[in-house]
Amino acid sequence: MNFTTPASTNANAGLSDQQAARLLQQEGFNELPANKQRTALRILAEVLREPMFLLLMGAGAIYLLLGDRNDAFMLLGFVFITMAITIVQERRTERVLETLRDLSSPRALVIRNGEQVRIPGREVVNGDLLVLEEGDRVAADGVLLECHDLLLDESLLTGESVAVTKQRTDPTPEVATIFSNEAAGRIWSGTLIVQGGGLARVIATGSSTAIGQIGRTLQNQPQERSRLQQEIGTLVKRFAIFGIAVAMLIVLLYGWTRHDWLNGLLAGITLAMSLLPEEFTVILTVFMALGAWRISKNHVLTRHTPVIEALGSATVLCVDKTGTLTQNRMSVSAIVIGQETVMIGAEPGAALAPAALQVLRSAVLASETTPFDPMDKAFLRCLAELDPGDRDARRDWSLVHEYPLTQAVMAMTHVWHVAGQEHDVVATKGAPESVARLCRLDPSRSAAVLQQVEQLAAQGMRVLGVASASCVAASWPATPDGFDFTWLGLVGLADPIRPAIAQAVRECRQAGIRVVMITGDYPATARAIAALAGLPDEQVITGAQLAATNDTELRASVRDATIFARILPEQKLRLVNALKANGEIVAMTGDGVNDAPALKAAHIGISMGERGTDVAREASSLVLLNDDFSSIVHAIRLGRRIYDNLRKAMTYVVAVHLPIAGMTLLPLLLGTPLAFTPVHIVFLEMIINPACAIVFETEEADSDIMLRPPRAIDERLFGTRNVLLAVLQGSGLLAAVAAVFFFALHAGMQEQQARALAFTCVVIGNLGLIIANRSLSHSIFSLLRKPNPAQWWMLAGTSAALLAVLSIPPLQRLFHFAPVHDRMMALPFLASLAAVGWFELVKYGGRLWSGSAPRTSDRHDAPVAVDQ
Q: What's the pLDDT score for residue 853?
A: 40
Q: How far is CA 74 from CA 164, 551, 816, in A?
A: 69, 69, 12
The 10s digit of each residue's pLDDT in 783-841 is 888 888 888 888 898 999 899 999 999 888 888 899 988 788 899 999 999 998 898 88
Check whether 746 has a pLDDT greater than 80: yes
For residue 1, count CB atoms less than 10 angstroms from its CB and return exposed for 0-12, middle for 13-18, buried for 19 or more: middle
Q: According to the model, what pLDDT value does residue 156 have?
A: 63
- Residue 864: is its pLDDT beyond 50? no
Coarse DSSP helix, strand, coil percentages of the chain, rounded to the nearest 5 percent: 50, 15, 30
Confidence of residue 65 (pLDDT cuts 50, 70, 90): low
Phi, psi of 468 (to 5 degrees): -140, 165
Q: How confident is the model at residue 745 (pLDDT cuts 50, 70, 90)?
A: very high
Half-sphere exposure at residue 75, Cβ-oriented, CA atoms within 13 angstroms: 25
C-alpha to C-alpha distance for 587 and 317, rounded to whole angstroms: 5
Compute the distance between CA of residue 588 and CA of residue 698 in angstroms, rounded to an integer.
29
Q: What is the pLDDT of residues 376-422, one digit of tens each?
A: 889 999 998 888 888 888 888 988 888 887 778 889 999 999 888 88
CA 172, distance to chain mean position in Å, is 41
| 565-616 pLDDT, tens digit each | 888 777 888 999 999 999 999 999 887 667 878 888 999 999 887 766 677 7
Query: Which ranges of 49-185 would DSSP assign to H, the alpha helix?
Result: 51-65, 69-104, 155-158
Instruction: Using alpha carbons, select from 398, 511, 371, 531 the residue that is nearest to residue 457.
Output: 531
pLDDT, residue 638, reads 93
Q: Looking at the predicted structure, is the pLDDT value of residue 175 above 70?
A: no
Whether the CB-CB separation of 717 and 310 falls below 8 Å is answered with no
pLDDT at 816: 86
Q: Residue 861's pLDDT band (boundaries 50, 70, 90)?
A: very low
Q: Tell me what pLDDT residue 219 has.
A: 46
**pTM listed for this prediction:** 0.74
Predicted confidence at residue 438, as pLDDT, reads 95
pLDDT at res. 702 = 86
Name the burial class of residue 669, with classes exposed (0-12), middle (13-18) and buried (19+) by CB atoms within 10 angstroms of its CB: exposed
CA distance 198 to 203: 16
Instruction: Identify the residue with better confidence: 733 or 33.
Output: 733
Q: Considering the chain, what is the average pLDDT of its residues?
A: 81
- pLDDT at residue 335, rounded to an integer: 94
Q: How many CA atoms lie within 13 A of 149 on its CB side?
A: 15
Q: What is the pLDDT of residue 168?
A: 77
Give the Cβ contact number of residue 670 at 10 Å.
10
What count of other Cβ atoms lies within 10 Å of the Cβ of residue 250? 22
User: How many CB atoms neighbour CB 119 within 10 A?
Assistant: 16
Confidence of residue 101 (pLDDT cuts 50, 70, 90): low
CA pair distance 656, 192, nearest whole angstrom: 53
For residue 711, give the 3-state DSSP assignment.
coil
pLDDT value at residue 452:
93
Confidence class of residue 426 from pLDDT cuts 50, 70 and 90? very high
The CA angle 797-53-305, to the nearest 5 degrees, is: 75
Phi and psi, residue 423, nearest 5°? -110, 140
Strand extents, DSSP E, 486-635: 486-494, 514-518, 540-542, 563-565, 586-590, 604-608, 622-624
- CB-based contacts of 587: which residues, under 8 Å, 6+ apart? 314, 316, 317, 318, 602, 603, 604, 605, 606, 632, 636
Return the pLDDT at 484.
Answer: 93
Predicted confidence (pLDDT) per residue in 231-262, tens digit: 777 777 777 777 777 778 877 877 777 777 77
Q: Could you report the per-residue pLDDT of 186-215, keeping only the tens digit for each?
A: 888 878 887 778 889 999 888 788 777 655
The pLDDT-based confidence of 79 (bands split at 50, 70, 90) is low
Determine the pLDDT at residue 520. 81
Contact by Cβ (8 Å): 493, 328 = no
